[in-house]
Chain A
Amino acid sequence: MNLEESLRALAADEAATRVPPRVDASVMAAWDAHSRAGLERARTGRHMPAALAWAGVFAVGLVVFAVVMGWPAPNEPREIVRGSAPVNPVAPGAAQPVARSALTGRVARPRPGQPAQLRSVPRREEKAEMEAAYVLVPDAEAGAPPLTLMRVRMPRSAFSRLGVPISNPDGDGMVDVDVLVGEDGVARSIRRAVAVGWVDPNP
């Protein structure tokens, strides 16, 4: 008898195999137990889905509320700006305290009576605009932050020495200027205060 015939004979022999009655009994007993358990679950846990649904609604509401209220903090980086930077004598009318970032030396003008505030990091265009108006002071090393911004009044002739012609509409020979001073006290760059608009951190 070759393999094929043997397998055919085995298949015929297997077809006559019967499952023992004890297996039938135990499977149907398992079905009955399963059905009873299902009925028990249905009786005791009938209100569970509604409770779960309400819990879900509550959780979603909580998340929405938290997002609306701004918590957790947005991804945009924030930094603390102190309003206690040293300010030299300034011209009357232009006397706003100048603020400096504690982290990067970036400057901002806080509102009166506002000791500290949050300000977003300026965009690249804003930064370029602010830096474009500054004139580097000759022979001064390029200082690394932190730098302190100071507003002072100085003679117009000082600008002329830097090669920057400054008109003097007031006629008194003095102009308001912003000076960036390093930690070593050496001025790094300078600009005329009125010539450049402030980037208001809190428009």
Chain B
Amino acid sequence: MQTPRSDNWPDGDLVRRAAAGERDAFAAIYERYRSVVYRFARLMSGSDATAEDVTQEVFVTLMRTLPRYESHRAELLTYLYGVARNVTRNRLRRDRRFVALDAAVECTPSSADDPCAAASHAQQLAQLRRCILALPSRYREVVILCDVHGLSYAETARVLRAPIGTVRSRLNRGRQLLATRMRKAESPGHASPARIERCVV
């Protein structure tokens, strides 16, 4: 009889085994959720370095709290989102006094055939990232969770520990603000850093 790979085990089993000290189980949990945590922190903070730190901190917190984790109270993904949210918020609050030297998240090069269209697409995504980053954090986190990560209202409500109605209203308001900012950024009179950069080049 063949033992199933740990990649296919449900979260509850992985958590139990990791709490018992199994390295492979923890590695499987990490592999399953690292991207989600990293991408959430990256969009929330707009910085690769902060996202790396947050990812490490989230999983270090998880390994410390594994024996106390109760799977019936929250799914592991929801729990990790909650920890990531708290760590990111604390980190942003702490780093508010610092001025970032590097602007922001690098854009992934597009594999489109048309280089001009690819450049335009990348520029639009960079613009969208900047606009999301400019949102107040209570709207930003809802937009990221619902519109970018594709969580349902209920899942988002569990992550934020807020009623579903609050999630809905925040998402609505966040989208409005985002649309307004995008329109403003695309208006001819608005000099975005990307436009300036293009002129200089």
Give chain A's interface residues, CB within 8 Å of chain B: 1, 3, 6-7, 9-11, 13-20, 22-24, 26-28, 30-32, 34-35, 38
Contacts and interface: CB of A to CB of B under 8 A. Distances in A.
The dominant DSSP class at the A interface is helix
Listed from nearest, the 3 A-B pairs whose CB atoms lie closest are: A7-B147, A19-B38, A27-B59
B43 A14 contact: yes
B182 interface: yes
B56 interface: yes
A34 B63 contact: yes
Given A9-B125, A23-B34, A31 B63 contact: yes
Contacts of B64: 34
B42 A17 contact: yes
A17 B108 contact: yes
Given A9-B124, A23-B56, A3 B23 contact: no
B181 to A, nearest CB: 10
Given A11-B150, A30-B59, A31-B63, A17 B124 contact: no
B35 A19 contact: yes
B38 A17 contact: yes
A15 to B, nearest CB: 8
A11 B108 CA distance: 12
11 contacts: A3-B175, A7-B148, A9-B121, A9-B124, A14-B43, A17-B39, A17-B108, A19-B55, A32-B23, A34-B64, A38-B21
B56 A26 contact: yes
A30 B125 contact: no
A101 B133 CA distance: 80
B89 interface: no
Contacts of B34: 19, 23-24, 27
A23 B55 contact: yes
B60 A27 contact: yes
